[in-house]
Each structure stands twice: as structure tokens, then as C-alpha cells.
Amino acid sequence: MYIQQIYTNCLAHAAYYIESGKEAAVIDPLRDPEPYLKLARERGASIKYVLETHFHADFVSGHIDLANKTGASIVYGPGATPEYKAYIGEDGEKLHIGKLQLEILHTPGHTIESTCYLLYDEAGKKHAVFTGDTLFVGDVGRPDLLSGNLKKEELASMLFDSLQHKIKTLPDDVIVYPGHGAGSACGKNIGPSSFSSIGEQRATNYALLTNDRDTFIKAVTSDLPVIPGYFFKDAAINKKGYKSFDDVMQNNMHQLTVDEFINKRKQGALVLDTRDPEDFAAGFVKGAINIGLNGDFAVWVGTLIDTDAAILLVTQPGKEKEAIERLARIGYENVNGYLGGGMLSWFSANNPYDNILTFNGEECSHLLETEEYSLLDVRNRLEVARNRMAGSVHIPLNTLKGKYATLDKNKKWLIYCAGGYRSMIAASFLKANGFNFIASIEGGIKEVIQHAPQLVEMDLE
């Protein structure tokens, strides 16, 4: 028996490769099939099944491409209605991989078709359960992402039954392999570990501690974060099918000269700059939006940029392919090309550019004493409840686009988050929408607390 978790930090996503007797199954693969194909080749195995736990909302799955390239069967649990060839298993049905068995456990709640897969080892002992978005470490899947006519309370009630009758009844030593880790928007407060055990979750997971249905429903439906705009589109793509990953890459990988880049921009394309915040701040194409590859790139693109937007990329040279791949993973397939040579070619052609001032924590104290900057905090509500800079305006980054009108464009705005990544995203959006007096705190409130603690109000909960 061989099990490998394949974790992708950008999406806080875990896929799984399971193998026995040179037969393999892959659970919830990302869109690029090559990592799974490579692993199977290296191990001399053939992929027999591609198992889907549900119609994912936060990424485009690689199930169709992987099945087409290997001849593997795509498997869903009961309730799934894909518009392409797939095997719909029955609750309690067992699939065989070499000497292993995988039992289909229908666990509706996160979605109607949500399914877990219970793995039995060679001796027939229950070894691990692959829970998808039904059960996370310290959390459960949110019940408000289904695009349909069921209320979140109805789905939460289904989830209660699934956990009570299918998950909590498993032996304590069964390993829990969830579909996501901390940072995923598919839960509201997922723990930092990427796996656990049934016993540990039964003892510590708030959603498994109660046996009362009403208490459970209230707990899992309260304080849910804003749903990223791309979620419903991706869920539909995963249900209906999609273009092959190879075709998307071929259609999107176009190197553009400076003049070609300018002409395409005149046609209405959005400029997305994926460099680090510090590099972006020093000089960027006017009107460009900064969402850096070295942060939660996919989540923030999906939250802040329209899914059908025509995109022009500016990247660190050599990062073009990675940017296009990561956009394709979440269903963004309309990249019109990338600026060949990056910003160096833009500067060399003597084109106009913009910049954003940045100040470190130590500089903030002097700055706020000598200039009239207004503070804008773009962190989430829970972060702000722990600490904030005195006198700051709070608008979470995921709601900023709808609240430009509440901010005075004639004021000087000093923007901060936890570490500087989100504040530069916010600064770029404000710059692109006519706010000229913008600055960002490099290193975020963490740096301010270290170097100028007098500016921060602590322990606000």
C-alpha cells in the first residue's frame, strides 16, 4: 500500500495518490494532469480510477484530462449528475485497487453529491478516510456553496446526519485525509494540519462535539466568509466539462512585444501583474492590478477579478507559464498574452509607469506624526478583532471593490494588512480607480507592532 498526499499551498488543496499491486487511484486532482501521470510513471503503475468527492467550487478538477490520458474511470458518489462519461457509485459500494478496497460513503451536506472514500488495507482493516470537503481538520465543509434551491440550513442538516452516521462511527485510529487545509474558503476556520485521525477530530472538532442537530446547524451556518466570485462558475465547469488543459495552455501562452501589449490593452484587457509587492511598488504599468504569485494568488484572483475578463500578464521573467497554469486551475482561460521581458522591456521602451510608496513599521510612527494619512485596514474581521492601528478604517479586501465610494479620493491613504501582500493588492485597485495618494505598510501590522507598538491597539476581543 502506498499513499501520497499532493498538497498545493496556493489553493490549500490536497489531492491523493493511492496505489497497490501496480494499480492506482487519484482523488480530487488539480487541472494539470502531469504531476499524477509522472508519479504513476515513476512507480510503474497504471491509474485505474479518478475519484471525485464532489463538484468542486474552488478549482477546476483534472479528472477529465486525467481519465482521457490514462483510460481511467471517473467515479462520483450518489447524487452526482455530470454531463460527461462517469461512473456513479452506490453508497456502500467497494472499489478494488490491487489488494486494497475503497468504500463509497455518500455524505451529503457540503453539496448533495459529497462523498467520502474509506480505504481498507490489505488485511481488510479500515485504514483511512478521504473526506473531501465533508470533514476538515478542526472544521467541516460550509453548506452555502451549492448553486440550487436548498437553503444552507437544509444542507447543514444533511451534513449533521452524514457526520453522525458515516464519520463519527469510524474507529478512532482511522486517518483523516481532507481535501483542504488552512486558508481554503471551503471552510471557515480550518486547522493548520493537513491530516488527522477520527479520534482526534471527535475530541476536538467543534462540529463533532455536539449531538444536537439545531446546535450543529447554528454553528456551521454562522460567520461564513464571503463566497469568492468564481466559485459557482468552477462548480458548473466541473459538472459540465471543459477544454483540455493542453489546449488552454497553447491558447494562452503568447509572448507580446511592448507595442502588441499596448494595442491589446487598448481593446480593454486588464493588466495583471504577478510580481512580488515590493517589485510592483517600485514601478508598474499604469492601471495594473498586483496579485503576487508568492501569496494566495488563485484565491484573490478569483475573488477580485471577473471570471471572463480578458487578461494581460506582467510577470517576473520565467514565471509566465506558472501564472497561466495557476489561472487555468481556477477557470481563467482568457489570457491574451504576457509582456515579453517583463517590466524591463517596458522601461527600456521609455513608456510611462506608476509607483506606490511603501513604509516599514519603523517609518510609520514618524510618517503619521508629520503627514495627514488616513489608515485603511484590509484584513478580515477576526484579524481586526485581535489588534488594529488606532483610528483605522476597516474594509476587508474581499469587499473593497464595492466600497470605493465610501472612501475620499482626495485623502492620503496608508493601507495595511498582516504582512503587506493584501495591502498592495488593495493599493493597486485603488490606484487603478483614481486614488492618487496611496501608500502601503511594508511588512504589515506585524512590523508596526515590532517597531512602533504605540500605534497599535491590542487584545480587542
Q: In the structure grid, which three cell numbers stand for residue 390, read together?
A: 488606532
Q: Tell me 180's DSSP state.
A: B
Q: What pTM did the predictor assign?
A: 0.93
Is 237 a member of any domain? no
CATH number for position 377 = 3.40.250.10
> Do residues 118 and 140 both lie within one domain?
yes
How many other CB atoms sit within 10 Å of the CB of residue 140? 31
Residue 225's pLDDT is 84
Dump pLDDT digits (tens) for 350-396: 999 999 999 999 899 889 988 999 999 999 988 999 999 999 999 99
| Mean pLDDT of the region 182-187 | 89
Chosen domain end from 303, 326, 348? 348
| Mean pLDDT of the region 70-94 | 97
Is 182 a member of any domain? yes
Residue 461's pLDDT is 60
> Do residues 332 and 452 both lie within one domain?
no
pLDDT band at 280 (very low <50, low <70, confident <90, very high): very high
User: Best-predicted range by mean pLDDT among 204-208, 295-299, 398-402?
Assistant: 204-208
Residue 147's pLDDT is 58
For residue 26, pLDDT over 70 is answered with yes
Residue 66's pLDDT is 98
Is 165 a member of any domain? yes
Is 31 a member of any domain? yes
Residue 305's contacts (CB-CB under 8 Å, 6 or more residues apart) are: 270, 272, 289, 291, 311, 332
**Angle subtended at Cα 359 by Cα 354 and Cα 365, rounded to the nearest 5 degrees:** 145
Is 145 a member of any domain? yes
Helix (H) or strand (E) holding 19: strand 13-20
In the chain, the percentage of residues whose pLDDT exceeds 90 is 91
> Do residues 103 and 30 both lie within one domain?
yes
Residue 330's pLDDT is 96
> Do residues 192 and 329 both lie within one domain?
no
> Do residues 421 and 454 both lie within one domain?
yes
> Do residues 190 and 69 both lie within one domain?
yes
> Do residues 400 and 331 both lie within one domain?
no
DSSP helix/strand/coil, 4: strand
Residue 363's pLDDT is 93
For residue 248, pLDDT over 80 is answered with yes
Chosen domain end from 348, 373, 400? 348
DSSP helix/strand/coil, 267: coil
Chosen domain end from 331, 348, 365? 348
| Mean pLDDT of the region 54-81 | 97
> Do residues 329 and 403 both lie within one domain?
no
Is 123 a member of any domain? yes
Is 309 a member of any domain? yes
Amino acid at 233: K
For residue 458, pLDDT over 90 is answered with no
**Per the structure, how many domains does the chain have?**
3
> Do residues 6 and 123 both lie within one domain?
yes
The strand pair at 115-120 and 100-106 is best described as: antiparallel
Residue 21's pLDDT is 96
CB burial string 342-365: b at 16+ within 10 A, e below: bbebbeeeeeeebebebbbbebbb
Taking Cα atoms as reference points, which of 378, 369, 389, 380 lies closest to residue 420? Answer: 378
Question: What sign for the dihedral angle of Cα 183, 188, 193, 197?
Answer: negative
Beta bridge partners of 88: 76
Domain carrying residue 418 = 357-458
pLDDT band at 460 (very low <50, low <70, confident <90, very high): low
Tell me which residue has cell 517590466. Answer: 343
For residue 459, pLDDT over 80 is answered with no
Contact 104, 76 (CB under 8 A): no
In the chain, the percentage of residues whose pLDDT exceeds 70 is 99
Is 238 a member of any domain? no
> Do residues 248 and 132 both lie within one domain?
no
Residue 292's pLDDT is 97
CATH number for position 148 = 3.60.15.10
- Average model confidence (pLDDT) for the chain? 95
Residue 355's pLDDT is 97
> Do residues 18 and 64 both lie within one domain?
yes
pLDDT band at 148 (very low <50, low <70, confident <90, very high): low
> Do residues 45 and 147 both lie within one domain?
yes
